[in-house]
Amino acid sequence: MSATNDRFATSAGLSAATVQVLTEDGRFEPTDAAAEYLPYLDSLTDDDFRRFYRDMVVVRGFDTEATNLQRQGQLALWPPSSGQEAAQVGSAYAAKPQDTIFPSYREHVVATIRGVDPLDIIRVMRGVTNSGWDPTDPKNGNVRVYTLVLGTQALHATGYAMGVKFDGKAGTGSAQSDEAVIVYFGDGASSEGDVSEAFVFAGSYQTPQVFFLQNNQWAISVPVKTQSRTPLYLRSSGFGIPGVQVDGNDVLASYAVTAKQLDEARAGHGPSLIEAVTYRMGAHTTSDDPTRYRTSDEDEHWRGRDPIARMRAFLTGRGVGGEWFDAIDEEAADYSADIRRRTLELVAPAAELIFDHVYSEPHAGMAEQRAWLERYERSFEADVPAGSTTSTQGGAA
Amino acid sequence: MTELTLAKAITTGLADALEADDRVVLLGEDIGKLGGVFRVTDGLQERFGIDRVVDTPLAEAGIIGTAVGLAYRGFRPVCELQFDGFVFPGFDQVVTQVAKMRYRTQGAVKMPITIRVPFGGGIGSVEHHSESPEAYFAHTPGLRVVACSSPQDAYSMIRQAVESDDPVVFFEPKRRYWSKGEVVTDVSAVPSLDRARVVVPGTDVTLVTYGPLVQTAVDAALAAEDDGVSIEVIDLRSLAPLDEDAIVDSVQKTGRIVIAHEAARFGGIGAEIAAMVTERCFDRLTAPPLRVTGHDIPYPPSELEDHYLPDLDRMLDGVDRVMGVRV
């Protein structure tokens, strides 16, 4: 780490203010800061705990498979979610069906929990579509499309939440119909002006929304210390928005904190910020090489805080046996194999589709370019028959 | 039929749009009690309430970005950006989000957002208040970019822009805000938003322009008549998509074209039109297409703006040159 970065030294780790429910070795020992969130765990059953674990394991398997697919030339890029499963599983389960999710581009766990087919994420990263799923289709759980321009989605979420408020769909006291919005972004994106502007608008209009910041310690190669001199959960307080820090590798704490903050939002009590302290165990994307900027000691430290291991220890403590864990591993393997099979079956869409949906109706210039491209590309097909001497369709078109 | 200033025609259009569709919301800085810095939204907040005419924090990316979210929610936002020189903090949201959302989602999410921008010089203002940034937007597929020039078009086009399911960057010629004209509020018979209009028919030279220079071009056509030169004035109205056929039809008749705009020449709308006309009317041209534009410099201090802005004499000079009268 460079001297420049060291000048900005703040703790990227946890403090007495951090909400934690499970210790690193999986014991249920909530911190004092967790007290006000604990009632949100009361309704969870052992089935829920198992479900949380199952989703973390299955999506990590998918994530690993997708990374491999990229390495094998099947995907253009893959941004791994490995290490961030607890923050995503906990927050995703805290959202109600009527809530709306604005993701960044690493929310594979959130998206799949809400109903998005993981193959639709693969399609984006393979380059067969710019956004893989229809965000207006109910089966996709109100998950809006991935956003690659960092921080822009914070404003989209805030505008959407303003609309919820204009529609009178928050603060009515109805648990079934009051809506909230949750937007995901990272420690790097927190430096974008759009995020600060979203705080301003959210504060001014008291929007029903939660800003969910996954602090995974690294914005590609730049450590969080360069993004902020203060812990990121304090960032929003100057905007009049309360912030809370949670151990993002603790799925129960992530669930409880998000459930409470979303409830507050739905109840019309305004926006809040959650900083989930976690770690990007893999590379930023498959184009990255973390060995150039991270130490193996750091990796080792965070591997010891693996969110899946923590939940497994917790479940083991509650009497879940090895066979059940083996069955989950098997399910994850099948899930990944299915993704691999379907990925290899993907075909590029027809070329003329690149002109679709630029405008609500085609216009003359675009129609002409589409027609030209078709003629041009067909002109090569006309050359295919060896020894052919006569001009064919390409010239005639 | 009522006589209205161009500014009031837009006010009326916005009021009628708010009345016609309760999903229309206005967003902008100072658009509430003040009625906007040009008073274009005067009285609208009082009439429609603070949730329909929303005074926003002073943040252009915030205005456009929240409009994206509102559009996602099914609203039809109309954003006011105060001046041409202040669009750039919101530029990223316009180009990477507003323009591409429909394409990105293969038609699932439309962005019926209107972004109003008062533009152009000639009002003796300070830096950043007189610019013509339209080419930046016209270069971006997915946006409709239009400029109105008369009270009637101001009314009709703002109604059409708000009703459009595509995002529209709506340029308003600020130095013509106070020009008056008759306005009919029945828009059923007006030309569609992407059509150019022949303002003055003519036979010798096609003079193409838009926004604040349309009136200048009409004046130039009148002046040229005295010299026996017949100028056909075309008001583009839509800069993107461009109504190419309207321009080509005219040039097929005249064989000569002058394109005028306040924006700098390099990479401007005029360059696109000159290239298009050269490609499509090469055999018919009796003179090279000619541009009468701002210079390739930042907008100068306003005491010197007369040296920058194309005016009637510079348009006539351009006409003389394509006629071979001057070199």
Q: Identify the pLDDT of residue A11.
A: 42
- B88 min Cα distance to partner chain A (Å): 13
Write the DSSP string, A242-298.
-EEEEETT-HHHHHHHHHHHHHHHHTT---EEEEEE----S-SSTT--GGGT--HHH
Q: What is the 8-class DSSP label of residue B94? A: I
Residue range(s) defining the domain that contains residue B220: 197-324
Q: Which two tokens stand for residue B127?
A: 């830096």
CATH code (residue B74): 3.40.50.970
Cα radius of gyration (chain A): 24
* pLDDT, tens digit, 9 for 90 and up, residues B222-247: 999 999 999 999 999 999 999 999 99
Residue A391 clears pLDDT 60, i.e. is over it: no
Same domain for B100 and B6: yes
* For range A61-88, the mean pLDDT: 96
C-beta atoms of B105 and A201 within 8 A:
no
Tell which of B189, B208, B230 closes a domain: B189
Tell which of B189, B209, B233 closes a domain: B189
Q: Which residues contact A75 (CB under 8 A, 6 or more apart)?
A: A66, A69, A122, A125, A126, A127, A286, A343
Residue burial A255-275, b: 16+ Cβ < 10 Å; e: rest: bbbbbbbbbbbbbeebbbbbb
Q: Identify the pLDDT of residue B325.
A: 85
Residue A396 clears pLDDT 50, i.e. is over it: no
A358 interaction partners in chain B (CB closer than 8 Å): 102-103, 141-142
Q: Identify the pLDDT of residue A386.
A: 53
> Given pLDDT bands bounded at 50, 70 and 90, which one contains residue B189?
confident
B43 touches chain A (CB under 8 A): no
Which residue in A51, A205, A269, A293 is the catalytic one? A293
Question: Among A136, A204, A358, whose Cβ lies nearest the Cβ of B142?
Answer: A358
Question: Among A135, A155, A160, whose Cβ lies nearest the Cβ of B62?
Answer: A155
Q: Which residues contact A246 (CB under 8 A, 6 or more apart)?
A: A18, A19, A20, A87, A253, A254, A257, A274, A275, A276, A277
> Given pLDDT bands bounded at 50, 70 and 90, which one contains residue B92?
very high
Contact B250, B221 (CB under 8 A): no
Tell which of B136, B160, B189 closes a domain: B189
* ipTM score of complex: 0.96
Same domain for B185 and B211: no
Locus of tokens 């099914």: B74
Same domain for B86 and B115: yes
Residue A107 clears pLDDT 80, i.e. is over it: yes
Q: Identify the pLDDT of residue A382.
A: 65
* For range A278-291, the mean pLDDT: 92
Residue A354 clears pLDDT 70, i.e. is over it: yes
Percent over 70 (pLDDT), chain A: 93
* pLDDT, tens digit, 9 for 90 and up, residues A160-219: 999 999 999 999 999 899 999 999 999 999 999 999 999 999 999 999 999 999 999 999
Average pLDDT along chain B: 97
Q: How far apart are CA A194 and CA B103, in angstroms?
A: 22
Q: How far apart are CA B62 and CA A190, in angstroms?
A: 15
Same domain for B163 and B250: no
Same domain for B179 and B35: yes
Percent over 70 (pLDDT), chain B: 100
For residue B141, the chain A residue with the least C-alpha distance is A358
Same domain for B313 and B214: yes
Same domain for B179 and B205: no
* For range B15-42, the mean pLDDT: 98
Same domain for B70 and B15: yes
Residue A14 clears pLDDT 90, i.e. is over it: no
Q: Strand (E) positions, chain B?
A: 2-5, 24-28, 53-55, 76-80, 114-119, 144-147, 168-173, 180-183, 197-200, 205-209, 231-235, 238-240, 257-264, 290-294
Using CB atoms and an 8 Å cut-off, which of residues 102-161 of chain B contact chain A?
102-110, 141-142, 144
> Given pLDDT bands bounded at 50, 70 and 90, which one contains residue B72?
very high
Q: Which residues contact A350 (CB under 8 A, 6 or more apart)?
A: none
A37 is catalytic: no
Residue A384 clears pLDDT 80, i.e. is over it: no
Same domain for B136 and B13: yes
Planar angle of CA B100, B75, B177, nearest 5 degrees: 85
Per the structure, the count of domains in chain B is 2
Same domain for B205 and B182: no
Q: Strand (E) positions, A99-255?
A: 100-102, 181-186, 209-215, 218-219, 222-223, 243-247
Q: Which two tokens stand for residue A272?
A: 């809040």
Using CB atoms and an 8 Å cut-off, which of residues 284-313 of chain B contact chain A?
none
Same domain for B226 and B286: yes
Nearest to A106 by CA among A187, A180, A22, A51: A187
A293 is catalytic: yes
Domains of chain A with bracketed CATH: 6-344 (3.40.50.970), 351-393 (no CATH)
Strands B205-209 and B168-173: unpaired
Contact B39, A180 (CB under 8 A): no
> Testing the interface with B: which of A124, A137, A139, A201 to mutate, by most B Cβ within 10 A?
A201
Question: Among B69, B142, B244, whose Cβ lies nearest the Cβ of A155?
Answer: B69
Q: Identify the pLDDT of residue A390.
A: 42
B166 interaction partners in chain A (CB closer than 8 Å): 359-360
Q: Identify the pLDDT of residue A385.
A: 56
Which residue in B128, B129, B139, B307 is the catalytic one? B129
Residue A392 clears pLDDT 50, i.e. is over it: no
Higher pLDDT, B224 or A3: B224
A198 interaction partners in chain B (CB closer than 8 Å): 62, 65
Nearest to B163 by CA among B129, B141, B190, B138: B190
Q: Which two tokens stand for residue B114?
A: 């209107």
CATH code (residue B206): 3.40.50.920
For residue A355, the chain B residue with the least C-alpha distance is B103
Nearest to A267 by CA among A208, A351, A211, A337: A208
Same domain for B137 and B278: no
A372 interaction partners in chain B (CB closer than 8 Å): none
Contact A195, A189 (CB under 8 A): yes
B237 interaction partners in chain A (CB closer than 8 Å): none
